[in-house]
């Protein structure tokens, strides 16, 4: 494995993707991280943000440390909702990965691929605790970057057979269905109404735009008994009455969830049953019956990114991928 004194490794967006890290490897690393988090062996201060673009755009600083994975670093990520209309990406940013023992910067890497994959992985790990193990039908609302990574991640942990795909854009759902069915050997059916991607599904994922004033399309009575839902776009898709129908409402980190609520999101939700650390260590039970409706709102943790960064750094060095830059 290559190391060079006084140099760091830069990995572009294409290089990060070309490292060849698999979703199964990401999930394994994140499981180690969630257990360590539940046992109090991680560090993750609340993320500070700045808001240069106005509206709901932001830049967040996301530092975290995971001693079990020799991982320390920070993600500096932006989300600018108006960018796609200008032909620019909604999410962009960088991860700085530091040497755990010396603090020296080891690598700087584009964060878009990492953000996409770790978010799908986090939902799948939540589902492992909260969904029925035999779940085979998935409803996907929002067929973009997250839609793709969620199908990939759920396929690693569940015997998925069918995906019902809804997107506001008909072209997006058609393209998603063609691409995902080919890539993952699944039946992927584009549907024209949101309810068709909720009722009748074992696993429901909402990943449309994040809105401070939710469009709240999903109503009570839509989510089946025994189903699990992951709210990747916060509470944007769900009416309060639909969220109050669930037996267990979870999140990835209680403190972060609390601070997000103080910012005006999730004004009317059920009590939080558990976070990912509590589920991973068994401090709180996951699913306890086939009938329960369960739900998680994972807001995205710096710990997720820092569970992926060391794997990318190591593989890139082994394969000779990236550009060396002087410190
Ligand atoms: N919780 C987390 O950790 C986390 C991390 C990254 C992204 N996100 C969130 O995930 C969501 C999706 O991100 P992305 O990168 O996949 O975006 P994207 O732009 O790639 O995809 C969004 C898709 O949603 C579609 N869409 C728009 N309105 C819709 C609606 N009402 N119903 C269904 N589909 C609709 C768009 O046509 C597009 O295809 C965003 O809200 C983003 O903020 C959350």
**Which pLDDT score is estimated for 165?**
98
Asked if 85 contacts 53 with a C-beta cutoff of 8 angstroms, the reply is no
User: Can you read off the two tokens belonging to residue 253?
Assistant: 């980190």
pLDDT tens for each residue of the chain, 327 residues long: 567 779 999 999 999 999 999 999 999 999 999 999 999 999 999 889 999 987 778 999 999 999 999 999 999 999 998 898 999 998 999 999 999 999 999 999 999 999 999 999 999 999 999 999 999 999 999 999 999 999 999 999 999 999 999 999 999 999 999 999 999 999 999 999 999 999 999 999 999 988 878 999 999 999 999 999 999 999 999 999 999 999 999 999 999 999 899 988 999 999 999 999 999 999 999 999 999 999 999 999 999 999 999 999 999 999 999 999 999
Residue found by looking up tokens 């690598």 in the block: 107
Strands 49-50 and 272-275, by their bridges, are unpaired
Instruction: Give the sign of the dihedral formed by CA 295, CA 22, CA 67, CA 43.
Output: negative
Q: Which atom of ligand 1 is nearest to the CA of 297?
A: 1
Rg of the chain over CA atoms, in angstroms?
19
In angstroms, the CA 60 to CA 135 distance is 35
Question: Which of 167, 251, 275 should be mutated for ligand 1, with most atoms under 8 A from CB?
Answer: 167
Distances (CA, A) of 234 to 212, 237, 251: 9, 8, 10
In angstroms, the CA 211 to CA 88 distance is 19
Q: At what angle do helices 112-130 and 145-157 cross, to 10 degrees?
A: 40
**Which pLDDT score is estimated for 84?**
87
- Asked whether 235 lines ligand 1 (CB < 6 A), one says no
Asked if 123 contacts 153 with a C-beta cutoff of 8 angstroms, the reply is yes
Nearest to 122 by CA among 230, 258, 237: 230
**Which pLDDT score is estimated for 209?**
87
Looking at residue 116, the DSSP 8-state letter turns out to be: H
Q: What angle do CA 311, 118, 234 make, to 5 degrees?
A: 160
Q: Where would I find the H helices in the chain?
A: 13-18, 23-38, 112-130, 145-157, 170-184, 240-243, 254-262, 276-281, 302-319
In terms of phi and psi (left: phi > 0; alpha: psi -120 to 50; beta: otherwise), the region of 70 is: left
Residue positions annotated with a catalytic role: 75
Instruction: Give the sign of the dihedral formed by CA 221, CA 222, CA 227, CA 231.
Output: negative
Count of other CB atoms within 10 angstroms of residue 22: 12
- Asked whether 63 lines ligand 1 (CB < 6 A), one says no
Asked if 238 contacts 218 with a C-beta cutoff of 8 angstroms, the reply is yes
Gap from CA of 208 to ligand 1 centroid (Å): 3
Gap from CA of 142 to ligand 1 centroid (Å): 6
Asked if 319 contacts 1 with a C-beta cutoff of 8 angstroms, the reply is no
- Asked whether 168 lines ligand 1 (CB < 6 A), one says yes
Asked if 230 contacts 150 with a C-beta cutoff of 8 angstroms, the reply is yes
């Amino acid at each position: 494995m290559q190391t060079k004194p006084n140099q760091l490794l830069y990995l572009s967006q294409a290089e990060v993707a070309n490292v060849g890290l698999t979703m199964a490897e990401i999930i394994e690393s994140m499981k180690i991280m969630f257990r360590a988090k539940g046992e109090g062996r991680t560090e993750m201060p609340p993320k500070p943000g700045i808001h240069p673009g106005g509206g709901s755009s932001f830049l967040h600083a996301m530092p975290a440390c995971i001693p079990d994975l020799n991982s320390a670093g920070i993600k500096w990520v932006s989300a600018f909702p108006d960018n796609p209309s200008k032909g620019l990406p909604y999410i962009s940013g960088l991860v700085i990965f530091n040497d755990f023992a010396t603090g020296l910067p080891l690598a700087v890497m584009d964060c878009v691929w990492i953000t996409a994959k770790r978010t799908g992985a986090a939902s799948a790990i939540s589902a492992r605790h909260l969904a029925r193990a035999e779940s085979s039908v998935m409803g996907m609302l929002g067929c973009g970057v997250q839609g793709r990574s969620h199908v990939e991640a759920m396929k690693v942990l569940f015997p998925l057979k069918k995906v019902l795909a809804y997107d506001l854009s008909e072209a997006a759902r058609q393209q998603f269905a063609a691409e995902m069915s080919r890539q993952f050997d699944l039946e992927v059916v584009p549907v024209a109404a949101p309810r068709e991607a909720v009722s009748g599904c074992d696993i429901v994922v909402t990943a449309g735009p994040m809105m401070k004033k939710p469009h709240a399309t999903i109503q009570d009575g839509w989510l089946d008994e025994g189903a699990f839902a992951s709210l990747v776009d916060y509470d944007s898709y769900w009416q309060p009455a639909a969220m109050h129908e669930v037996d267990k409402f979870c999140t990835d980190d209680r403190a972060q969830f609390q601070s997000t609520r103080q910012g005006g999101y999730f004004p009317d939700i059920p009590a939080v049953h558990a976070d990912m650390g509590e589920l991973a260590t068994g401090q709180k039970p996951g699913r306890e019956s086939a009938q329960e409706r369960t739900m998680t709102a994972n807001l995205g943790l710096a710990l997720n990114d820092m569970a992926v960064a060391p794997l990318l750094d190591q593989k890139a060095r082994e394969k000779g991928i990236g550009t060396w830059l002087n410190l």
